[in-house]
Amino acid sequence: MVKLSRPPRKEVKAGILETAAHEFLSFGYHDARIARIAAKAGYTKGALYSNFGSKPQLFTEVLMEHLKVTEVTFVPEMIRILQTKQPAEATAQQLSNLLQERSVELLPWQVLIAQFRLLAVNDSEARDAYQAFMEFYLNLALEICDTNELLTHVTPTRRRIIVFSALQIINSATLEAATLTSLTAEYFSNSLAAIFMRSLKDLKNENAN
């Protein structure tokens, strides 16, 4: 009798993560079902839990995988803008235009993150998973921003505060733009440009002191 070999653990995880991403995007965090994810991926619930442990942990790893894809398709353009020698106003406007162009793609993920954040307020397991995700998210953003010479002269603690604040504002702005349909694309872009411009001015003032 031929003994069937198990697929490599890496292959199992990749298949589950891909299926889980579709599930969370289709149904939202609360209505996503572990049993449905496992069945669609072709594995048992036991196999899923042996790889991810819990629904919050699975969701966190899905988000991290999404950020890795975003890093490949989105980050190089941000770095190019940050490294270009030009007035701060031009840098701020180009960054805001880029985010505005990608807002349709980013929005479903921002909605999922918002749902998960609310759950984390009262759920300790979700809170731990959310903190792990935000640390990953923050470190990725710091790597991007370290390509800009203004940030390289700021203390590490101050740099983390600036980048974390910017991430929260961008996340909120993306959700507001989707909810308030009266906001035009131009208004959204100009609002983000103002945020980036203020941050760049603060950095210039700090470096001058």
pLDDT 10s digits, 128-183? 999 998 888 888 888 777 766 666 667 788 778 877 877 777 777 777 766 766 66
Q: Which residue has the higher pLDDT, 92 or 75?
A: 92
| 61 plus 23 within the same structural domain | no
13 and 87 within one domain: no
Structural domain boundaries, residue 18: 1-53
Q: Domain containing 71 — which CATH number?
A: 1.10.357
pLDDT reported for residue 141: 80
Residue 48, pLDDT score: 93
90 band by pLDDT with thresholds 50, 70 and 90: confident
Residue 3 has pLDDT above 50, yes or no: no
**Does 204 or 111 have the greater pLDDT score?**
111
Residues 113 and 41 occupy one common structural domain: no
Please give the share of the chain, as a percent, with pLDDT higher than 90: 27
Domain boundary among 36, 53, 70: 53
My answer on whether 150 and 106 are in the same domain is: yes
Sorted by sequence, the CB contacts under 8 Å of residue 98 that are 6+ apart come out as: 74, 77, 78, 81
Q: How many Å from the N-terminal Cα to the C-terminal Cα in the chain?
A: 77
**Domain final residue, candidates 37, 53, 69:** 53
Average pLDDT over the chain reads: 81
Do 185 and 92 reside in the same domain of the chain? yes
Q: How many domains does the chain have?
A: 2
The predicted-structure confidence for 55-70, as pLDDT tens digits, reads as follows 999 999 999 888 887 7
Of the listed ranges 10-24, 44-58, 107-121, the one predicted with least confidence: 107-121
Q: Is the domain of 43 the same as that of 66?
A: no
Tell whether 17 and 75 lie within a shared domain: no
pTM here is 0.76
Residue 14 shares a structural domain with residue 80: no
One domain, residues 168 and 85: yes
Encode pLDDT of 117-127 as tens digits.
Answer: 889 999 999 99
- Do residues 59 and 48 both lie within one domain? no
Q: Quote the pLDDT of residue 17.
A: 95
- Residue 113 · residue 171 · CB < 8 Å: yes
DSSP per position, 113-143:
HHHHHHHHHH-HHHHHHHHHHHHHHHHHHHH
Same domain, 72 and 173: yes
What is the C-alpha separation between 22 and 19, in angstroms, rounded? Answer: 5
* Together in a domain, 44 and 69: no
Q: How confident is the model at residue 80 (pLDDT cuts 50, 70, 90)?
A: confident
